[in-house]
């Protein structure tokens, strides 16, 4: 693999930044300074550093975004659409690396969004066959009583699908809580609450399978997944 491709594949550099870093003499391979971006290295065994910092190439990239309200969960939009995509919150090299949002959150839904270039894993996470659980923190307009609670958890029949049984944990006021579903139908949680006589006024995804939203991550910010988080996702 070319050295500049290795560097850009680490997520630390764009391709042009990688070239500049190499030519500056700050990149070493196995302890030796290399100044040619076209030098080929073994990505599996080479020890590459930028100054004193190790640079590690990985086949796939994984990032967590704390999605804010007002952004579309897509890589691009129709030219006539004035909506902003979540990719505009991320470094430009994410798009160049082929990274994309795994699944979608409505434009007014906030919280956990996985950004990756691992297509096979994204398919596994989103496939209806695998029933990957998604948990949301919600607030609604009308308190959820016992009958409404039972209807939500037992499944609701719509014209186009019937929601599967789910878990709803209510706060004492009945106006807020957490709901965990194993499907990802369009506007599903909002439609479920509407069907029982309430409306969602706030919705935040806090868990996606084994991945939990980092509470220290500000809205609109992102970070790379930890090795433990990546291992948990790949163990599904």
d(CA 216, CA 193): 29
**Other CB atoms within 10 A of residue 180 CB:** 15
Catalytic residue among 52, 106, 108, 117: 106
CB 103 within 8 A of CB 128: no
d(CA 42, CA 32): 14
Query: Phi, psi (5° rounding) for residue 203?
Result: -145, 125
CB 118 within 8 A of CB 234: no
What are the start-end ranges of the E strands in 8-101?
27-29, 32-33, 48-50, 53-55, 62-67, 71-72, 84-85, 100-101
The number of helices, as runs of H, and strands, as runs of E, in the chain is 7, 15
For the question of residue 106 being annotated catalytic, the response is: yes
Known catalytic residues? 106
């Amino acid at each position: 693999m070319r050295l500049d491709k290795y560097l850009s594949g680490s997520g630390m550099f764009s391709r042009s930044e990688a070239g500049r870093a190499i030519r500056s003499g700050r990149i070493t391979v196995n302890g030796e300074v290399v100044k040619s971006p076209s030098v080929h290295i073994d990505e599996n065994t080479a020890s590459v550093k930028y100054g004193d910092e190790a640079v590690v190439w990985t086949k796939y990239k994984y990032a967590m975004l704390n999605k804010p309200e007002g952004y579309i969960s897509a890589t691009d939009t129709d030219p006539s659409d004035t909506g902003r995509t979540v990719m505009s919150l991320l470094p430009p090299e994410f798009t160049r690396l082929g990274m994309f949002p795994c699944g979608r959150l409505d434009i007014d839904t906030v919280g956990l969004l996985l950004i990756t270039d691992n297509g096979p894993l994204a398919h596994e996470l989103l496939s209806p066959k695998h029933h990957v659980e998604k948990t949301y923190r919600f607030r609604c307009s009308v308190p959820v009583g016992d009958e409404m609670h039972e209807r939500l958890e037992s499944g609701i029949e719509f014209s186009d699908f019937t929601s599967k049984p789910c878990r709803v944990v209510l706060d004492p006021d009945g106006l807020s809580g957490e709901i965990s579903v194993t499907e990802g139908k369009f506007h599903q949680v909002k439609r479920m609450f509407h069907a029982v006589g309430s409306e969602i006024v706030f919705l935040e995804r806090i868990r996606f399978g084994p991945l939990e939203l980092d509470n220290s991550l500000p809205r609109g910010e992102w970070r790379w997944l930890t090795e433990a988080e990546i291992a948990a996702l790949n163990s599904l």
